[in-house]
Amino acid sequence: MAALTDLTLSGLVAALARKEASALEVAEAHLRKLDEHRALNAFITETPDRARAMAKASDARRAKGEAGLLEGVPLAIKDLFCTDGVPTTAASHILEGFVPRYESTVTANLWKAGAVMVGKTNLDEFAMGSSNMTSFFGGVENPWKRRGDNRKLVPGGSSGGSAAAVAAYMVPGSTGTDTGGSIRQPAAFCGIVGLKPTYGRCSRWGVVAFSSSLDQPGPLARTVEDSALLLQGMAGHDPKDSTSAPLAVPDFVAAARNPDIRGLKVGIPKEYRVDGTSPEIVALWDKGMEMLAAAGAIPVEVSLPHTKYALPAYYIVAPAECSSNLARYDGVRFGLRVPGKDLIEMYQNTRGAGFGKETRRRILIGTYVLSAGYYDAYYRKAQQVRALIARDFKEAFTRCDVLLTPTAPTAAFAAGDRMDDPVTMYLNDMFTIPASMAGLPGISVPAGLDKDGLPLGLQVIGRAFDEETMLRAAAALEKAAAFAARPAGY
Amino acid sequence: MSLDKDTVARIARLARLKVPEEELAPLAGELSGIFAWIEQLNEVDTRDVAPLASVSDVTLPMREDKVTDGGIAERVLANAPGDAVYIDPSDRNAGGFFTVPKVVE
């Protein structure tokens, strides 16, 4: 049998069911990987004791014949999900030492399904970033390196630790959150699968809020089927999140196991052919469409005319919501407190010391666009543009069933690159943000390597609450691309 | 749109964010760059377009107006910076207070 850490998540579920290994053995094998690859800085908090206790409880449940969907599967949790009794930092100094006394709905669902937590993963501070470089606890290293080049590369962001942990075989799957691409872009940079569900599919309750009209939890894993299985365990209506969709959870796994796409119409949005995209990515995109066509899909050129405005509109909406959400960090009820001569100075000192550079920048942008006299010019305008973006997608989906696009304009870049100009960094999310603005599901599938040996991803975007068709197309793409590369040394 | 130092200082005060004097000018430059890039939204004709506040079509659900939890003061106060004060130290769930610097003389 293959090493336990080499199995896919579905493979692990099967091996555990056949009693080829106990949950405790599986947990120990993965905890050893956490030890071995600690230098990647993928985790902010490791929870080996809790993992062992949860694994033992899992073995006990299985012995009683009560195995759940993810029984005994070790998972890494983005450190943005509140976990009862385990520090939750959002990678920010302002939340250092914060120990929630409640559990997020998504993680509670996972534990109910039998999963085992091995630790909390690193991320960009408050999930704001595309490189994982804004974490107070230091950047995460991508397990992949350019061939013949030893420079450290970023894992993408914001769910960079979750992506690196899966790519380095420390865990078979992890949770992430995606506001403008924070699951899909790091998945592409790390050569794994990342799925952002439809807004409302997974509960946001207990997830540290960044931009409430965009944030959405989702899974990262090494195969499309594994991502479907994890989503199955995470999703579901939650009365505690008023934007949680009151819909039954479909059989995502069955969809991912059915790569039959004969007759499926795959839209290619012409506005996604933009300057600045690596020619290799454009070539891979064309090849991806050819592969889907060879599997029986019908290519359709579609137009999303407002694509180029999605990014600037996002950089009004997301900071505006961020500035409101982050108002709660005031040094009064939890987190850091830095004293001052009066209450206002205490707020200012706490927030000035507790938030990092990018977070401060976004709070200032958000405060400005919401301030008196500017609301209509910025926030209202951005929401109107957002309505047009959503309308574009609606019209495109009258002509096709899914969309195929690149996930990111480049492969992973070196740590420290693109840090000088915020707008250059923001452009990383140009292909993921439009679907986020429309609340649509998207999945990144590793589809090839570039000339330097780095993984590249393609994105499949689906209709709202039609993750099943999206998974079917993603599974077909995965099958045709047959991506089997591993980062050297992992 | 170009932001000057004073505007950044004013926004920082609105946001209750201490920004050191020497960071104001570089921040004004960065934010001006971001807003110049955002200006391209003015190319979009949005007359008669209703703003989209939320992508979820569902009407916000109503629930019965009744207490659904409570009696967990200890958990609520568990992360209080500075010392929380409990009404009855022998029963922490009976209630308590966050403490803040003195605001009235």
Whether A393 shows a pLDDT value over 80: the answer reads: yes
A142 assigned to some structural domain: yes
B62 assigned to some structural domain: no
What CATH number should be reported for the domain holding residue A112?
3.90.1300.10
- Report pLDDT digits (tens) over A111-130: 999 999 999 999 999 999 99
Quick one: how many helices (H) and strands (E) in chain A?
16, 11
- Report pLDDT digits (tens) over A23-46: 999 999 999 999 999 999 999 999
A294 assigned to some structural domain: no
The alpha-carbon gap from B26 to the nearest alpha carbon of chain A, in Å, equals 11
Q: What is the pLDDT of residue B63?
A: 85
B59 assigned to some structural domain: no
Q: What is the pLDDT of residue A428?
A: 85
Structural domain total, chain B: 2
A-to-B residue pairs, Cβ atoms closer than 8 angstroms: 157
* Banded pLDDT at A423 (limits 50, 70, 90): confident
Chain A contact set for B16 (CB, 8 A): 327, 330, 344, 347-348, 351
B50 assigned to some structural domain: no
Least confident among A160-174, A285-299, B74-88? B74-88
For A93, phi then psi, to 5°, come to: -60, -30
High-pLDDT (> 70) share of chain B, %: 96
B38 assigned to some structural domain: yes
A368 assigned to some structural domain: no
CA-CA distance, A406 to A444, in Å (whole number)? 8
Nearest-5° Cα angle at A476, A471 to A482: 120
Catalytic-residue membership of A78? yes
* Banded pLDDT at A276 (limits 50, 70, 90): confident
- Cα dihedral: A367, A371, A374, A377 (round 10): 50
Minimum CA–CA partner of B9 in chain A: A364
Verify whether the Cβ–Cβ distance A343 to B19 is below 8 Å. Answer: no
Residues of A (368-407) whose Cβ lies below 8 Å from B: 368, 371, 378, 380-388, 390
Verify whether the Cβ–Cβ distance B81 to A343 is below 8 Å. Answer: no
Specify whether the CB–CB gap between A441 and A197 falls below 8 A.
yes
Q: What is the pLDDT of residue B42?
A: 95
Whether A179 shows a pLDDT value over 80: the answer reads: yes
A251 assigned to some structural domain: yes
Q: What is the pLDDT of residue A421?
A: 74
Is A330 an interface residue toward B (CB < 8 Å)?
yes
Residue of A303, A243, A240, A245 lying closest to A271 (CA atoms): A303
- Report pLDDT digits (tens) over A185-227: 999 999 999 999 999 999 999 999 999 999 999 999 999 999 9
B11 assigned to some structural domain: yes
Specify whether the CB–CB gap between A150 and A163 falls below 8 A.
no
Q: In sequence order, what are the residues at sequence separation of 6 or more whose Cβ sits closer than 8 angstroms to the Cβ of residue B18? A: A348, A349, A351, A352, A353, B12
B23 assigned to some structural domain: yes
The alpha-carbon gap from A122 to the nearest alpha carbon of chain B, in Å, equals 22
Residue A81 DSSP label: B
What residue numbers bound the domain in which A49 lies? Answer: 4-260+443-481
Whether A401 shows a pLDDT value over 80: the answer reads: yes
Residues of A (110-169) whose Cβ lies below 8 Å from B: none
B15 assigned to some structural domain: yes
Residue of A228, A400, A157 lying closest to A302 (CA atoms): A400
Specify whether the backbone of A275 is left (phi greater than 0), alpha (psi in -120 to 50) or beta: beta
Catalytic-residue membership of A308? no
B51 assigned to some structural domain: no
Verify whether the Cβ–Cβ distance B79 to A335 is below 8 Å. Answer: yes
Residue A338 DSSP label: -
Q: Report the half-sphere exposure of A86 (CA within 13 A, side-chain side).
A: 25
Distance (Å) of CA A489 to CA A11, A37, A160, A174: 22, 10, 19, 21
Verify whether the Cβ–Cβ distance A384 to B40 is below 8 Å. Answer: no
Minimum CA–CA partner of B72 in chain A: A101
- Report pLDDT digits (tens) over A447-470: 999 999 999 999 999 999 999 999
* Pairwise pLDDT comparison (A416 vs B65), residue with the higher score: B65
The alpha-carbon gap from B64 to the nearest alpha carbon of chain A, in Å, equals 12
What residue numbers bound the domain in which B85 lies? Answer: 70-100
CA-CA distance, A182 to A347, in Å (whole number)? 29
Q: Residue A75: beta bridge partners?
A: A117, A173
Quick one: how many helices (H) and strands (E) in chain B?
3, 2
A392 assigned to some structural domain: no
Q: What is the mean pLDDT of chain A?
A: 96
Structural domain total, chain A: 1
Chain B contact set for A423 (CB, 8 A): 33-34, 37
* Banded pLDDT at A419 (limits 50, 70, 90): low
Instruction: Kindly state the tokens that stand for B43.
Output: 């190319």
Global pTM reads 0.97
Q: What is the mean pLDDT of chain B?
A: 91
Chain B contact set for A464 (CB, 8 A): 55
The mean pLDDT value for B52-60 works out to 78
Verify whether the Cβ–Cβ distance A367 to B15 is below 8 Å. Answer: yes
Q: Report the half-sphere exposure of A338 (CA within 13 A, side-chain side).
A: 18
Q: In sequence order, what are the residues at sequence separation of 6 or more whose Cβ sits closer than 8 angstroms to the Cβ of residue A95? A: A88, A89, A208, A329, A334, A335, A336, A354
